[in-house]
Amino acid sequence: MPIVNARDLEETASSSEDEEVVSQEDHPCIMWTGGCRRIPVLVFHAEAILTKDNNMRVIGERYHLSYKIVRTDSRLVRSILTAHGFHEVHPSSTDYNLMWTGSHLKPFLLRTLSEAQKVNHFPRSYELTRKDRLYKNIIRMQHTHGFKAFHILPQTFLLPAEYAEFCNSYSKDRGPWIVKPVASSRGRGVYLINNPNQISLEENILVSRYINNPLLIDDFKFDVRLYVLVTSYDPLVIYLYEEGLARKCNWKMGNTMDKRWLPIYVQVL
């Protein structure tokens, strides 16, 4: 994350008095980017939590960098920020450098951010992370760029708004179908149905045609997760983490027993 004022840090780094404290070339928590390497970026090191190296705390402590955590309990985030010299402020404080929040910020709050303040959510990032918004955006892209280019999900309906359309498709293909909450995670609230009467229409849900013949590894279902960090949408800048996670079910496809997942770590080539 860009830190404090670039001019302040540049002047400090160039003064002989503080060369041992903040070094443009040597400090492990500073990376200089931009034209002539004049924009300081703070680099976090996971091992700082274990090593408790005081050198890792120098930048945060010298510039009185602070953070606040709002509407979430991010113990790992708190630990790594503390290990880098950040101090925590009250959730209602406006004097902070980083806000880590479990919800999306309102536009008026985003407009109050200063150059030295960062948040962990891009505006409207839920257009990708919420299942209902992702579904709508994929449909929009199919209309814009052609169905074949964005044929990346099975037939899906957003209920209750598209309940009649779903029943029409169900009369032609009785399933099974899979039901998912629009704003949940970790498999919570997901279930299979064979009849529209099994669906509760009290809240928005997605119903998708269940894929009976998925890609398998030795007859086991699996999924693969690659982790990326998006630092900018315009221009688009994405960093791909060097390791990923594959999960394999411990029961073969078609087994009616409980489906549990075994994690397998993968290297991104």
What is the tens place of the pLDDT at every residue in 20-35? 444 545 788 988 876 6
The reply to whether 90 and 169 lie within a common domain is no
229, 168: one domain: yes
What are the start-end ranges of the E strands in the chain?
30-33, 39-42, 66-70, 87-88, 98-101, 118-119, 156-159, 177-181, 191-193, 205-209, 220-233, 236-252, 261-267
pTM of the prediction? 0.73
183 and 223 part of one domain: yes
- Ranges of the chain whose pLDDT falls below 50: 5-7, 10-22, 24, 256-257
Show the domain range for 203: 127-252
The answer to whether position 188 is within a domain reads yes
Q: Are residues 184 and 218 in the same domain?
A: yes
Q: What is the pLDDT of residues 93-126, one digit of tens each?
A: 999 999 999 888 888 889 999 988 999 988 888 8
Which CATH number characterizes residue 193's domain?
3.30.1490.20
